[in-house]
Amino acid sequence: MSAYTKPVALEVCVESVASALAAERGGAARVELCSDLLEGGLTPSAGQIEVVRRNLSVGLHVMIRPRGGDFLYSPEELEIMQRDIEVAKSLGADGVVFGILEPGGNVDRKSTRRLVDLARPLSVTFHRAFDMSADLLRALEDIVSCGADRVLTSGGQATAALGQKVIADLIRVAKGRVIVVPAGGIAGTELRHLVEGTGACEIHVRLGNMVPSAMRYRNERVCIGSAAGGEYQRLVVLEDSVRNLLAACNG
């Protein structure tokens, strides 16, 4: 029996109603709703938020990211983020997820604090823009000072498993002032070890499975998606994948 017995809350990143409901059935505590996961996740449409909220019983956190690329935003892009937060609030989201950096790699505290204040009373997560910061410990303190509730991190490494020691240090330094959530490339075979090694109480995962399209007619001469055949397959979350991951972690 492991010394770590506290159940872990699982947040699953999704980009469709079907995936959100599969995550819920599999036991997820909440979902992070995005569009375009191949770009790392962008803000979903108002229609997407509304329909997911109407059908979902667990927590719903909405990605606030107006474009792909870096996390250095223009005044106009910050205005878009403000408006998207207002829309998410009006449609019943439980939380929002965003991350803003300055050119030198530090957290943009002024903009972050403004968006945190605007989002209240919703929960606020600072996403993995944190891992792109110049100094993780400084970024952690900046995020705490801005009042965010959570920060997603792989410990500044390609995967959370590789960044496990750093994540453990961040959780220790945070002392509950902000919830440090391991995220990035997490597989079932390593999840329990990651949780036990860091003391994390929440985990963020992206559990995409490629499923074929139901289209019978196919024009293989044209590619509209980002890769050949992209129109005839899509990334979804499967209920069993979520359930199996939780089982691997919580025993």
- Give 225's pLDDT tier (boundaries 50, 70, 90): low
Task: Note the pLDDT tens digit of each residue in 50-105.
Answer: 999 999 999 999 999 999 999 999 999 999 999 999 999 999 999 999 999 999 99
Task: Note the pLDDT tens digit of each residue in 120-169.
Answer: 999 999 999 999 999 999 999 999 999 999 999 999 999 999 999 999 99
Phi, psi of 20 (to 5 degrees): -60, -45
Integer Cα distance of 101 and 87 in angstroms: 23
Query: Between these two residues, 81 and 3, which has the higher pLDDT value?
Result: 81
Q: How crowded is the C-beta side of 243, counted as CA atoms within 13 Å? A: 7
In the chain, what are the domains?
A: 9-250 (3.20.20.380)
Residue 250 has pLDDT above 80, yes or no: no
Task: Note the pLDDT tens digit of each residue in 18-37.
Answer: 999 999 999 999 999 999 88
High-pLDDT (> 70) share of the chain, %:
94
Q: Radius of gyration of the chain from Cα atoms?
A: 18
Q: Containing H/E element for 205? A: strand 202-205
Residue 116 has pLDDT above 90, yes or no: yes
pLDDT of residue 88: 98
What is the reported pTM? 0.92
Q: How many CB atoms lie within 10 A of CB 74?
A: 10
pLDDT of residue 213: 85
Give mean pLDDT, residues 192-219: 89
pLDDT of residue 6: 67
pLDDT of residue 4: 47
What is the torsion angle, in degrees rounded to the nearest 10, for the CA atoms of residue 12, residue 105, residue 43 and residue 190? -10
Residue 1 has pLDDT above 50, yes or no: no
Residue 189 has pLDDT above 80, yes or no: no
High-pLDDT (> 90) share of the chain, %:
75
pLDDT of residue 59: 98
pLDDT of residue 2: 41
Residue 5 has pLDDT above 70, yes or no: no
